[in-house]
Amino acid sequence: MYSSLDAIFKPKSIAVIGASTKKHTIGHEILRNILRNEFNGKVFPVNSKAEVVQSVKCYHSISEIPDEIDLAIIIVAWKFVLATVEECGQKGVRGIVVISGGFKEVSPEGAKLEKNVLQAVRRYKMRMVGPNCFGVANFTPEVSLDGTFSKMQSLYGKIGFISQSGALGQVIMEYARSLNVGFSMFASIGNKADISGNDLLLYWQDDPEVEIIMLYLENFGNPRRFTRIAREITKKKPIICVKAGRTEQGAKAVSSHTGVLSNLDLGVDALFAQCGVIRADSIEEMFNFAIALYNKDIPSGDRVGVITNAGGPAILATDALINNGLKVPELTPESQKFLRENLMEVAAVSNPVDVIASGGPDAYRAAMTTLMKDDNIDILLVIFVPPIMIDHRAVIETIIDIYKSGNKPVYVCFMGPYNHIDGAELLFKEKIAVHVFPEYTAKTLATLVDYQRWMKRPEGNLCEYQVNDKQVRDIINLAKSEGRNSLIGTVALEILSAYGILVAEFALASDEGQLEYEVKKVGFPLVMKINKPTILHKTDVGGVITDIRTLEEAKDAFHKMRRDFAGEEFEVLLQAQVRNGIETVIGMTCDPSFGPLMMFGLGGIYVEVMKDVSFKIQPITDLDAREMIESVKGYPLLTGFRGSKPVQMEILQETLLRLSQLVTDFQEIDQFDVNPFIASSEPNSCRALDARFILK
């Protein structure tokens, strides 16, 4: 199927505008790379002052070229770019790559020029990569185009790479070559004035030449479109991304717990988790993941069998695997019996299997063959610390032989530099993932297991409940008419009730007589809170007194609050103190990039201290809600701990979904916290105790 991007990535003819006779200039290097890579098409250098460039006839302008031109690569000073683009349009060029910088990345004047360039591109119905980019490449044999100014010739492989950084693009291409990793297509998208990363993802979605997609991103142009596209792609092929800017603060000040927590780059994590994108913390880690995925050796489970010839590395590996959420199970009795009979007497035959330092090819063969057959094992991690007395190449050949004849993924850790190990190049040739230390291997394996789970993950369902949205609309309209943007206390609890969420029974008191009457209704022990719309964080200012057990204690607390919060509209809120259950927090904040983010975590005053929270981009499905609950570190407390009963998980999940529906129905809600929401084993005890809503 034809795409408008074919003119850029599958051209039949290229004009290099700004091709130079001077070595070590961008105009010289790009033309050199096109020629060196033996591009399967026609190449036309354009230089107003040269007759020949690198032994190829040169034209003074693109209009002089007699042939039709699919792609023009523009390498001229910024002030000449607009005129050059106009000439390309008049020539009938279908695609352009603007290498030149000096646009919105440097000044407002540059931004205006970039806008004019884009208008010209669209007027002539062209497509553009850039400006301010490193170039594009298509290394597939049918095209064989290197339109970058990389110093090193890249290898052909099955990886598509998108980079928002030109400088990093060059580094990445050269680093890939050192790892024997090849690309099918490469694009440095620069300022992405026209063609974006999302456009390239769609272009590569069904391309058999692109089996893995790697991304380096600094920002999202349209994150919700990215989510929709990536969700479809990752069910068929992996996307691995390094997203820079982890430490940037949020774009606006926020006043809720949820808002404060969401500034910790969790929006990006939530987005990637919901669309199956693998997030790498570094370029090195991204390549670790890519190499492991290259042979499609995606584990079927999370149980790892470790084979080693040294005890220390095995301990490190076991710790790293378990810390990354993987399992290191016991081998079957049959496997242990076989290993006892075929390894040295002092060898360890449980898991890890330690063939000891003198264990050579035969020992590794026995151990690997056994673990390949063991029903308790899904993945093999083979550690080899090269001893002097062992034939290294023979061990490596054995590892490769068992890997090729087996039916389980194999990953290798050499515990040190492997460049000088005899036979190490054979592992690279077979695309077997090799790491220096087991911590890297464990992180890679955990990532692959998570990706395997994503591919099997069902879509989930968006739920809709019967609610009283009219009541909430009236509450919000009244607040707006009074100039209030915060809804707290009883008003916030009324919003929750309108959406079918159980709240703790409450009463209000503004004088001592009313206090005595309401206390008898609420019962002891009780909690007293200041009910003042301007106070968002009551605990911080002494506005919450708990464990009140008698009428006298209630009066003392009432008088203290009246002294501390003197005013014409003094009022306290009384609630029965809930003792049975676990405090959780449910919240939402509007991220400037991703829109509403739903949050779940441990509640009470500890939410900001522990930061044990999970985020999902709104709206959430029933499966999203369950994953949010299960992903917090405190989840075991909810399932029953040391004899306690598990909480009502269905009620907790439904509460998340009802609040998600509330956010969908009322987009003027900017933030909210339900803190705490008591999760209990008793259905009637699962209730919201406090909440606050902030309007936009």
- 346 within some domain: yes
Q: What is the pLDDT of residues 407-437, one digit of tens each?
A: 999 999 987 776 667 888 888 788 788 888 8
Lowest-confidence range among 313-317, 520-524, 617-621?
Answer: 520-524
Q: Where are the beta strands (DSSP E) in 326-414?
A: 348-349, 353-354, 379-383, 410-413
* pLDDT at residue 253, as a whole number: 36
| Residues in contact with 54: Cβ distance below 8 Å, sequence separation at least 6, in sequence order | 19, 21, 28, 31, 32, 35, 45
Both 81 and 201 in one domain: the answer is yes
| CATH number of the domain encompassing residue 81 | 3.40.50.720
State which H helix or E strand residue 42 sits in: strand 42-46
Both 40 and 146 in one domain: the answer is yes
Both 203 and 312 in one domain: the answer is no
- Can you tell me the distance from the alpha carbon of 149 to that of 28, in angstroms, rounded to the nearest whole number? 8
Mean pLDDT of the chain: 92
Query: Average pLDDT for residues 562-569, to the nearest whole number?
Result: 84
Both 316 and 167 in one domain: the answer is no
The answer to whether 306 touches 316, Cβ cutoff 8 Å, is no
- 16 within some domain: yes
- 320 within some domain: yes
Q: Which of 398, 430, 456 is the last residue of a domain?
A: 456
* pLDDT at residue 267, as a whole number: 82
* pLDDT at residue 266, as a whole number: 76
- Can you tell me the distance from the alpha carbon of 276 to that of 258, in angstroms, rounded to the nearest whole number? 24
pTM: 0.87
Both 74 and 196 in one domain: the answer is yes
| CATH number of the domain encompassing residue 412 | 3.40.50.261
Both 206 and 302 in one domain: the answer is no
- 482 within some domain: no
Query: Average pLDDT for residues 555-563, to the nearest whole number?
Result: 94
Query: Average pLDDT for residues 83-97, to the nearest whole number?
Result: 98
**Structural domain span for residue 417:** 298-456
- 105 within some domain: yes
Within 10 angstroms of residue 621's Cβ, the number of other Cβ atoms is 18
pLDDT of residue 74 exceeding 80, the answer is: yes
* pLDDT at residue 419, as a whole number: 65
How many separate domains does the chain show? Answer: 2
- 205 within some domain: yes
The answer to whether 91 touches 60, Cβ cutoff 8 Å, is no
Q: Which of 145, 177, 210 is the last residue of a domain?
A: 210
Q: What is the pLDDT of residues 517-546, one digit of tens each?
A: 999 888 899 999 998 877 877 888 999 999
Both 302 and 186 in one domain: the answer is no
* pLDDT at residue 256, as a whole number: 47
Q: Which of 436, 456, 476 is the last residue of a domain?
A: 456
- 327 within some domain: yes
- 167 within some domain: yes
Both 170 and 314 in one domain: the answer is no
Q: What is the pLDDT of residues 474-507, one digit of tens each?
A: 999 999 999 999 998 889 999 999 999 999 888 9
The answer to whether 551 touches 570, Cβ cutoff 8 Å, is no
